[in-house]
Amino acid sequence: GFSYFNNQKLKKAYDKEIIVADSLYQAKDYETARNSYRKALSYRPNVPYPSEKIQEINQITGIPIASSDTLQQEIPEEQKPEEISAPRTVAGTLSPEDRQNMYGLFAGAVVGEKEFYTLENDLIKVNLSTLGGRVYSAELKNYTTFDSLPLILFDGDSTVFGFKFFTWDNKPIETNNLYFLPIADGKSMVADNSSRSVSMRLQVEPYKYIEYVYTLEPNSYMVDLDINLVGMKDIFTGNLNSLDLNWEIFLPQQEKGRQNENKYTSIKYKYYQDDVDGFREMSSKDLEEKEITTKVRWLAFKDQFFSSVIIADNYFLNAWVQSQKLPESPKYLRHFRTELGVPFEGKDSEIINLRFYFGP
pLDDT tens-place string over residues 308-360 = 999 999 999 999 999 999 888 888 988 999 999 999 999 999 999 999 999 99
Residue 319 forms beta bridges with which residues?
A: 292, 340
CA-based nearest residue to 353, from 228, 221, 183, 269: 228
pTM for the model: 0.76
In the predicted model, what is the mean pLDDT of the chain?
86
Specify the CATH number for 106-359; select among 3.30.428.10, 3.40.50.20, 2.70.98.90, 2.60.40.420.
2.70.98.90
Contact 316, 219 (CB under 8 A): no
pLDDT tens-place string over residues 112-165 = 999 999 999 999 999 999 999 999 999 999 999 988 999 999 988 778 999 999
Contact 319, 270 (CB under 8 A): no
- For residue 60, pLDDT beyond 90: no
Contact 236, 165 (CB under 8 A): yes
The reported pLDDT for the residue numbered 93 is 64
* Cα-Cα-Cα-Cα dihedral sign, residues 314, 201, 194, 192: positive
pLDDT tens-place string over residues 204-250 = 998 999 999 999 999 999 999 999 999 999 999 878 899 999 999 99
pLDDT tens-place string over residues 187-210 = 999 999 999 999 999 999 989 999
Contact 327, 200 (CB under 8 A): no
* 252 vs 331: CA distance, rounded Å: 6
What amino acid is encoded at 17 in this protein?
Answer: E
What's the burial of 181, exposed, middle or buried (CB within 10 Å: 0-12/13-18/19+)? middle
